[in-house]
Every structure is written in C-alpha cells, then in structure tokens.
C-alpha cells in the first residue's frame, strides 16, 4: 500500500510556481521522501529526494515539514513541458541495504498557457 497521499490533479499557469503537496504521516525516521515525474507513456524521471532538510537542485525544491509528516515539491517557473504525473514516494528498506520506493497514484499536473 502507498504510504503517501497526493491530490489526484492540479493546474498551474505557465511561468508561475507549481506547488505540489504530499502527506506522509506514517513515515519512519530513516525513510526518505522521493519525487519522480512521469510524462505520458515514458519511464519515470527522478526529480529530488530528502530526509529532513529542505533540498534544492536545478529542477525543483523540496520543502519537508519539521515533523516530516508532509512535504511540498516546488517547480519555480513551470513550463508546458512540466505537464506530467508527479509521484511523492517514501522509501522502504529491503534486504542487502537496498531500498524500495512505495509508489502511489501521483498528482497529474497540467500546466496551462
């Protein structure tokens, strides 16, 4: 079962910041939050991940609340190419120190001109 809750869909105007929320109230102390996106009929693309602190890279920023029960992915200047399904995922530790990503249904983000 997915360990995250996301809105099924969101709209955002081109050029504006897109803020995608995610609830993960049952996250454990050693579990990371990952964000991926999937453009229709393609393989998912990694965006960013974090544990406790806020993170930023060339694609996005990740804001994690202090209690770690929720997070927000921010795309600072959305373009039409950012239209995709965005997945918020928590990791689960497997054998051999490997990690499994528990995938939910994601948020379909539509960027409008």
Partner 1 sequence: SQTIHQWPATLVQPVGSPLSLECTVEGTSNPNLYWYRQAAGRGLQLLFYSVGIGQISSEVPQNLSASRPQDRQFILSSKKLLLSDSGFYLCAWSAGGSEAFFGQGTRLTVV
Question: Given the rule CB under 8 A, which residues bind partner 1?
Answer: 2, 32, 34, 41-46, 49, 87, 91, 94-101, 103-106
Of 113, 111, 112, nearest in space to 20 by CA = 111
Give φ, ψ of 95 to 5 degrees.
Answer: -65, 165
- Which C-beta is closer to partner 1: that of 40 or that of 66? 40
Minimum CB distance to partner 1, residue 92 (Å): 10
Minimum CB distance to partner 1, residue 18 (Å): 20
- Which C-beta is closer to partner 1: that of 13 or that of 56? 56
Of 86, 77, 92, nearest in space to 109 by CA = 86
- Which C-beta is closer to partner 1: that of 81 or that of 94? 94
List own/partner pairs for 50-54 with CB under 8 A and 24 or more apart. Answer: none
* Cα–Cα dist 50/48, whole Å: 7
Minimum CB distance to partner 1, residue 93 (Å): 9
């Amino acid at each position: 079962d997915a360990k995250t809750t996301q809105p099924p869909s969101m709209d955002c105007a081109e050029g504006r910041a897109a803020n995608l929320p995610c609830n993960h109230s049952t996250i454990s102390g050693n579990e990371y939050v990952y964000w991926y996106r999937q453009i229709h009929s393609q393989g998912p693309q990694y965006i960013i991940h974090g544990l406790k602190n806020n993170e930023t890279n060339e694609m996005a920023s990740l804001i994690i609340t202090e209690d770690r029960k929720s997070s927000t992915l921010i795309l600072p200047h959305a373009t039409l190419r950012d239209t995709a399904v965005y997945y918020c995922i928590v990791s689960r530790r497997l054998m051999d120190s490997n990690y499994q990503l528990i995938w939910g249904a994601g948020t379909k983000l539509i960027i409008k001109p």
